[in-house]
Amino acid sequence: MAILGEIQKKSGVLIGIIALALFAFVIQGLIKNSSSLGKGNLNVIGEVDGRKIARTDFQKRVALVQKQNRNMSQMQAVKAVWDQMVNEAVLNNQYDKLGIKVGQDRLRDLIINNPTIKQAFTNQQGVFDENRLSDYIDQVYQNKKSNPELFAQWKNFENSLIESEKKKIYLDLLKAAINPTLKEGEWLYHYENDAVDFKYAAVPYRTIPDSLVKVTKADIQAYINKHKDEFKVDESRDIEYVFIPLEPSAKDKQKIMDELKALINDKEVYDKEAPDHKKIEKGFKNADDAEAFANKYSDVKQQARYFFKNQLPKKYADTLIKLNKGDVFGPYEIKNQVYLSKVTDTKMIPDSAKAAHILIAYKGARGANPAITRDKETAKKKADSILKVVKRNPDKFAEYAKKLSDGPTKTKGGDLGWFTYGRMVPQFNDFIFNGKKGQIGLVETPFGFHIIKINDLTQPEKAVKMVSIIRNVEPSQETENETFAKAAQFASEALDAKDFKALAKEKGFEAKPVRKIGRFEDRLPGIGQNRDVVRWLYKSDRKIGDVAKFDTEKGHIIAYVSGIREEGIMTPEEASVLVKPKLIKEKKAELIKAKFKGNTLEEMAKNANAKVGVATGVTLNNPMIPGFGREPVVVAKAFALEPGKVSKPIDGNRAVYVVKTIKISKASDIKNYVPYVEKLRKQRIVGISRDVEKALKDKADIEDNRARLYQ
């Protein structure tokens, strides 16, 4: 057990290693799921090409992802884990077919060569100690019953290495299969270097008004039928919603203003112990302890501190900086808070300083390196001796800092650069900003002992030491009731409304749309995180026109179902925004083509009212036509034409063209096309990991039963 005790000194580092590896295991690793998991539908959350995804395994990983990513919602974790487990399943099927495995010897190599492991298991000389690692692993396995959590974390770390290695082997096999031929290398060379000169006449699509072409629903449907793969859609829902915010009223704000005004001056209060049952209670202006008084009435904990003019609220800076000790200003509003401020002191101080320090830390000091074993008394003696030496040789301060400091700035000679007043811990801050340029002294902070040298200070300027009573402006119960009633009234009227958007406008609200809401969404644009809305949308009896009200801390959402889309192919209405521009372009092209009449380029240009241009030295690799941009189809046609020949009208990206090839300049052959073969190979393997996973997923038979568990 001795080794465990030693390792515990670095337990933070080690747990960090395992946690990071475990996160990689969930998000990036490829974990093989046994097809024997999850017997029965209730225990299976999905199936990919016959490989079952067990419910318990899925839930554990969702919980783990949320634990590792505290800002991630449950539904975001569900989506991330599902996508990854589907990837794992399709890839593991490939590993099985190819017999890809990782043995114990290879696993040992992966562990030993892991950079973070090497850093964690070093000896006193800072050299990686494989024996210490071996002892630690033995202890983890021997104590797997007494410390099952650590054992599970270590096993997951091992699994992440195994699965990452499997993927690497698989991708290396795929990359090895990508071997372009010398002929392909020769093709790429000519693709990049052959050039063509040609004349062209072009009529831009924009010269034909959209009003001259008509695209029908039947046209759009016909296009969809020819390109069904481009218009596949998952199930989704559309809503329009009105948000009625719960905000404090002017009355709510005024109430707080009045309450703060009443705190400024002394007041007479009832006291049954006093002779006349009256006593004077000091207000903020005359309070003996302004900071304690402020904290008694403030919603935000307060501490008096100095402010320069540029640190004060812009709207009130000119007034606040002119206040004198004892002055009270306010109440005044900043965003949704009301302030009442008192100046407890003023003085002239620099707002910025430049300094350097030598830190002598001790065991137990804040942020101290675990390797530091000296106690506080020893650290103080060392700091005192360094102070004496530095004062005798101030020009060598940076040299001493590099050799002696325990701080992170030692490599810079202790230089902290410029920093503003109040940025450093109080003891450090006070020494510098109350000192003079060139002064050297010793200060103790929670980090240890600092030998400080003040290198420079800005010119002093006025600062006010101020403390404020800050009250949050929140809606009163009366305001909450009024807002609730307004939302309930609108929701009731919306149930019978024929036009939700028109009703909202009539009532002074704005109806906003949210499109394509998936079953497992929980964060909606404009609404934020609200799983209740999505659950409601996916109820089995939900229909277009349904209305519901959802109460949140910030207000009320009235949602109207405007669209229900099942998995399948887009409707013409849904695809219109994508298809219509293409069809308009096609129809314009037909109108333009009809104008290109004649036998010569010049004659065709004249009839189409187009100017003749010349493009020279254009390559397939850079198919730019002057004034029109990239036109790869047009340039390819110019290469295909015999010199002197005129093409038929060509549909380009921005116009319809007619071209006449003048000259094709073929690049001289070279002796070695291997560099072009290698370039082509690199181009083809870019993104291979992403592309192969997508291809396998598209081909896979996937059964998704998440809806049984996550409603």
Tokens of 248: 């404090």
How many angstroms from the chain centroid is the CA of residue 432? 39
* Mean pLDDT, range 220-245, rounded to an integer: 94
The structural domain count of the chain equals 5
pLDDT tier at 376, thresholds 50, 70, 90: very high
**Cα separation, 181 vs 682, whole angstroms:** 13
Maximum Cα interatomic distance, the chain, rounded to a whole number of Å:
119
Do 15 and 104 fall into the same domain?
yes
Asked if residue 241 lies in contact with residue 550, where contact means CB atoms within 8 angstroms, the answer is: no
**Cα separation, 120 vs 108, whole angstroms:** 16
pLDDT score at 126: 74
Residue 46 lies in a domain: yes
**Cα separation, 201 vs 203, whole angstroms:** 7
| pLDDT exceeds cutoff 80 at 37 | no
Residue 291 lies in a domain: yes
Do 453 and 498 fall into the same domain?
no
For the ranges 228-237, 443-452, 477-486, which has the lowest average pLDDT?
228-237
CATH number at 558 reads 3.10.50.40
Residue 469 lies in a domain: no
CATH number at 581 reads 3.10.50
Do 20 and 60 fall into the same domain?
yes
Helix (H, G, I), strand (E, B) or coil at 241: strand
Do 47 and 160 fall into the same domain?
yes
pLDDT score at 8: 39
pLDDT tier at 33, thresholds 50, 70, 90: very low
Do 27 and 150 fall into the same domain?
yes
Do 513 and 625 fall into the same domain?
no
Residue 561: closest CA among 244, 233, 236, 232: 236
Residue 462 lies in a domain: no
| pLDDT exceeds cutoff 50 at 17 | no
Do 166 and 295 fall into the same domain?
no
| Residue range(s) defining the domain that contains residue 627 | 195-232+573-665
Residue 150: closest CA among 259, 266, 15, 282: 15
**E strand or H helix that includes residue 689:** helix 688-699
Give strand pairing partners of 524.
Answer: 528
Q: Where are the alpha helices (DSSP H) in 113-147?
A: 115-120, 130-142
Asked if residue 613 lies in contact with residue 605, where contact means CB atoms within 8 angstroms, the answer is: no
Residue 189 lies in a domain: no
**Cα separation, 281 vs 278, whole angstroms:** 10
| pLDDT exceeds cutoff 70 at 26 | no
* Mean pLDDT, range 594-613, rounded to an integer: 95
Virtual CA dihedral for 464, 467, 472, 476, nearest 10 degrees?
Answer: -120
pLDDT score at 193: 97
Residues 6+ apart with CB under 8 A from 425: 445, 446, 447
Do 26 and 121 fall into the same domain?
yes
Angle at 518 between CA 512 and CA 523, to 5 degrees: 60
Structure confidence by residue, pLDDT tens digits, 234-243: 899 999 999 9
Asked if residue 637 lies in contact with residue 647, where contact means CB atoms within 8 angstroms, the answer is: yes
Do 265 and 382 fall into the same domain?
no
Asked if residue 514 lies in contact with residue 524, where contact means CB atoms within 8 angstroms, the answer is: yes
Q: Is residue 546 packed enough to be buried (19+ CB in 10 Å), middle (13-18) or exposed (0-12)?
A: middle
Do 286 and 168 fall into the same domain?
no
Q: Where are the alpha helices (DSSP H) in 552-666?
A: 572-593, 601-607, 632-640
Residue 470 lies in a domain: no
**Cα separation, 707 vs 698, whole angstroms:** 21
For the ranges 75-79, 295-299, 647-651, which has the lowest average pLDDT?
75-79
**Cα separation, 601 vs 96, whole angstroms:** 62
Residue 278: closest CA among 269, 265, 286, 287: 269
Residue 184 lies in a domain: no
For the ranges 76-85, 216-225, 453-462, which has the lowest average pLDDT?
76-85
pLDDT score at 529: 86
Structure confidence by residue, pLDDT tens digits, 616-647: 999 999 999 999 999 999 999 999 999 999 99
Which of 566, 593, 627 is where one domain is finished? 566
Which of 566, 585, 605 is where one domain is finished? 566
| pLDDT exceeds cutoff 70 at 18 | no
Do 453 and 387 fall into the same domain?
yes
Residue 300 lies in a domain: yes
Q: Per the omega criterion (within 30 degrees of 0), is the bond before 525 cis?
A: no
Helix (H, G, I), strand (E, B) or coil at 649: coil
Which of 457, 492, 507 is where one domain is finished? 457
Do 158 and 58 fall into the same domain?
yes
